[in-house]
Amino acid sequence: MPRSYLKEARRHVGPKKQRIGPIIERLAADHADAAIALRFRSPLELLVSVMLSAQTTDVNVNRVTQALFEKYRRPEDYLAVPQGELERDIFATGFYRQKTKALRGTMRMLLEDFDGEVPRRLEELIRLPGVARKTANVVAAELGEPQGVVVDTHVRRLSQRLGLTRQEDPVKIERDLVRLVPRADWGRFPHLLIWHGRRVCDARRPRCEDCVVNDLCPSSRV
Ligand code: SF4
């Protein structure tokens, strides 16, 4: 969309501070089932699933973890087998060498520094080998203590289209979003954008005519 149109459209829909409330409400009503698609039964399984989900689909991770979580139940279990065995067990998630290294490093640190428990604070989570800010944010949010807003490819695209940020860099986008989104919604907000992105606001063909926030969106084609 040319800049001049975008400027006019932004003026037309009004300030983002006034739009954010209705955007969240309407998306929540439209995607009442929006939630993390990874399957896990404990904080440890959550952490492992999120680590494995890099560069692959949640469906693929769930397929692998079904058997994995029967075999590996505690941090010690990931260190008790030879590296090659764990590599084979997570092979289908891709980047299996890096992921094995990260998993084993993380399990070692959990045992040495955190009594074998998954920490809840973001600054502790990002100390774990192979755990970047996005992974840490997802884990903290799913454990009920969001300390930021997860920014993935959908969150980035939708935040930009909805005129909630003009940034490109995920860290700067997150900074804009935490200023704008009420703290109580930090956990569910990314899920709402992710599901809306998958179902309606497709990267190539957004279905603006079916979108519940099209009157609040400066990129609407309606
Ligand atoms: S109006 Fe269109 S561009 Fe805006 S959020 Fe909805 S589908 Fe996406």
pLDDT tens-digit profile of 1-54?
A: 566 677 777 778 899 999 999 999 999 999 999 999 999 999 999 999 999 999
Is any ligand 1 atom within 6 A of the Cβ of residue 19?
no
> What is the C-alpha separation between 84 and 30, in angstroms, rounded?
45
State yes or no: is 152 an active-site residue.
Answer: yes
Q: Write out pLDDT tens, residues 114-172.
A: 999 999 999 999 999 999 999 999 999 999 999 999 999 999 999 999 999 999 999 99
Q: Domains of the chain, with CATH numbers?
A: 3-30+149-216 (1.10.1670.10), 43-142 (1.10.340.30)
In this structure, what are the phi and psi dihedrals at residue 97, rounded to the nearest 5 degrees? -70, -50
Q: Which amino acid is at 75?
A: P
**Predicted TM-score of the model (pTM):** 0.88
pLDDT at residue 40, rounded to an integer: 98
Segment 158-216, tens digit of pLDDT: 999 999 999 999 999 999 999 999 999 999 999 999 999 999 999 999 999 999 999 99
Q: Dihedral sign for Cα 131, 136, 142, 145, please.
A: positive
Cα distance between residue 192 and residue 29, in whole Å: 10
CA-wise closest residue to 168 among 181, 155, 187? 155
Please indicate whether residue 162, judged by its CB atom, sits closer than 6 Å to ligand 1: yes
206 Cβ closer than 6 Å to some ligand 1 atom: yes
Q: How many helices (H) and strands (E) does the chain have?
A: 12, 0
Residue 30: active-site member: no
Collect all residues with Cβ–Cβ distance below 8 Å to 11 and sequence separation of at least 6: none
